[in-house]
């Protein structure tokens, strides 16, 4: 037998043993992961590069991908809250990160286009047919991947990030846009937003809350990351002139009054890269979780000491955030990353899914406790 064949067999045996060990621990899902008492973490599905999530009423989960070129459907065919089938619906797309579902249609955001898969639940197959909306967005790859979702009014909300670390790129960038699907009219509803890759509407007030990734290259600890709330269309959140509220940009902030811009509703330490956010609307978790949002901290890429790599919970009272705490930790050990949370969906039983593009997994969090 060739030496290379012997080495291949050896690697296969080792992989099998590791897989056996990995699955025998009921998928302590992620080694060393820490949740509050009563919560449990388990594997829901394996999906290459899993990023943004969208859930259909029948439980079909759609999964976008930033690092790859595909969009997936994840099915729980026997309704036991564990996925048992993954279908690659389409491939060959440019960073199809954003996915949204409404009225039987799947919407997918590539860097510059919005694709529409009509009657998608009847076309869960490879090479599913789609058409393109007439609206166009910039083609820049830098911060070009998008998170999309439908507003309570039924408009498709699409962000466009800055095509740079920090620059003044004009009105077609650094903001959040609303697309009226009936008229194809595109309206910029928020300006001064460097890059948001996650947002949700408050279940009571109906206001749009969103995460924002701060600029790089100002040091380990500045600027802080932002959680913002849009109280009225047209608000400006400061970028590129001001960061994290009152911190002036070294180049663009000269002579600027940062107080005239909308201030963050909440701030997180610098470079944690908050992505997806989800107001908890389920009933499985204790009451206090129905008063705020889960934030996926993807984690730093250029901080001298890594930070983030966790899920944070932010308590919200009306239009104000009042507190935050680490909900899921233990995903970073020294410089070793174990997982990088991206986005959320809440299943019909109230359990919480979150995606991880680092592991190519979707995890499920359940609660069985006496309350908190």
pLDDT digits (tens, 9 = 90+) for 223-259: 999 999 999 999 999 999 999 999 999 999 999 999 9
> Where does the pLDDT of residue 29 fall: very low under 50, low under 70, confident under 90, or very high at 90 and above?
confident
Q: CA-CA distance, 214 to 193, in Å (whole number)?
A: 9
Average pLDDT over residues 332-359: 97
Q: Is the pLDDT of residue 10 over 50?
A: no
Average pLDDT over residues 174-189: 97
Domain boundaries, the chain: 28-367
pLDDT digits (tens, 9 = 90+) for 199-231: 999 999 999 999 999 999 999 999 999 999 999
pTM above 0.85, yes or no: yes
pLDDT digits (tens, 9 = 90+) for 116-145: 999 999 999 999 999 999 999 999 999 999
Report whether 114 contacts 107 (CB < 8 A).
Answer: yes
Q: Which residues pair with 134 in a beta bridge?
A: none
Q: Is the pLDDT of residue 26 over 60?
A: no
Structure tokens, 154? 């039924």
pLDDT digits (tens, 9 = 90+) for 262-290: 999 999 999 999 999 999 999 999 999 99
CATH 2.120.10.30 assigned to domain 28-367? The reply is yes
> Where does the pLDDT of residue 193 fall: very low under 50, low under 70, confident under 90, or very high at 90 and above?
very high
| Burial class of residue 127 in the structure, from the number of CB atoms within 10 Å of its CB (0-12 exposed, 13-18 middle, 19+ buried) | exposed
Q: CA-CA distance, 294 to 278, in Å (whole number)?
A: 5
Average pLDDT over residues 62-74: 97
Report whether 235 contacts 197 (CB < 8 A).
Answer: no
Q: CA-CA distance, 358 to 345, in Å (whole number)?
A: 18
Can you give the pLDDT at residue 107?
Answer: 98
> Where does the pLDDT of residue 18 fall: very low under 50, low under 70, confident under 90, or very high at 90 and above?
very low
Q: Is the pLDDT of residue 16 over 80?
A: no
Q: Is the pLDDT of residue 19 over 80?
A: no
Task: Pick the range with the lowest mean pLDDT from 13-17, 60-64, 161-165, 275-279.
Answer: 13-17
> Where does the pLDDT of residue 370 fall: very low under 50, low under 70, confident under 90, or very high at 90 and above?
low
Structure tokens, 98? 């954003």
Q: CA-CA distance, 217 to 208, in Å (whole number)?
A: 29
């Amino acid at each position: 037998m060739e030496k290379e064949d012997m080495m291949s067999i050896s690697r296969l045996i080792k992989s099998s043993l590791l897989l056996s060990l990995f699955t025998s621990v009921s998928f302590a899902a992620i080694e060393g992961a820490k949740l509050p008492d009563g919560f449990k973490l388990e594997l829901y599905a394996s999906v290459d590069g899993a990023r943004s999530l969208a859930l259909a009423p029948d439980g079909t989960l759609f999964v976008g991908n930033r690092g790859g070129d595909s969009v997936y459907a994840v099915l729980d065919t026997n309704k036991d809250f564990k996925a048992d089938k993954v279908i690659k619906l389409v491939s060959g797309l440019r960073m199809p990160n954003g996915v949204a579902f409404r009225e039987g249609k799947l919407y997918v955001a590539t860097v510059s286009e919005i694709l529409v898969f009509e009657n998608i639940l009847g076309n869960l197959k490879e090479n599913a047919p789609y058409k393109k909306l007439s609206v166009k967005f910039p083609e820049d790859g830098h911060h070009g991947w998008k998170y999309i979702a439908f507003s309570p009014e039924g408009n498709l909300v699409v962000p466009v990030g800055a095509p740079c670390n920090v620059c003044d790129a004009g009105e077609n960038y650094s903001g959040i846009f609303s697309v009226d699907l009936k008229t194809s009219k595109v309206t910029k509803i928020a300006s001064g937003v460097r890059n948001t890759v996650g947002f949700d509407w408050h279940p009571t007030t109906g206001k749009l809350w969103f995460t924002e990734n701060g600029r790089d290259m100002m040091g380990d600890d500045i600027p802080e990351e932002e959680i913002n709330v849009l109280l009225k269309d047209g608000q400006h959140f400061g970028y590129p002139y001001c960061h994290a509220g009152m911190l002036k940009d070294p180049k663009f902030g000269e002579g600027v009054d940062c107080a005239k811009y909308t201030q963050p509703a909440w701030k997180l330490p610098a470079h944690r890269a908050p992505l997806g956010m989800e107001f908890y609307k389920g009933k499985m978790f204790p009451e206090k979780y129905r008063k705020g949002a889960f934030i996926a901290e993807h984690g730093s890429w250029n901080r001298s000491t890594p930070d983030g790599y966790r899920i944070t919970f932010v308590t919200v009272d009306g239009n104000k955030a009042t507190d935050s705490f680490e909900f899921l930790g233990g995903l970073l050990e020294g410089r070793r990353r174990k997982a990088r949370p991206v986005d959320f969906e809440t299943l019909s039983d109230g359990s919480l899914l979150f995606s991880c593009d680092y592991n190519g997994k979707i995890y499920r969090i359940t609660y069985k406790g006496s309350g908190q």
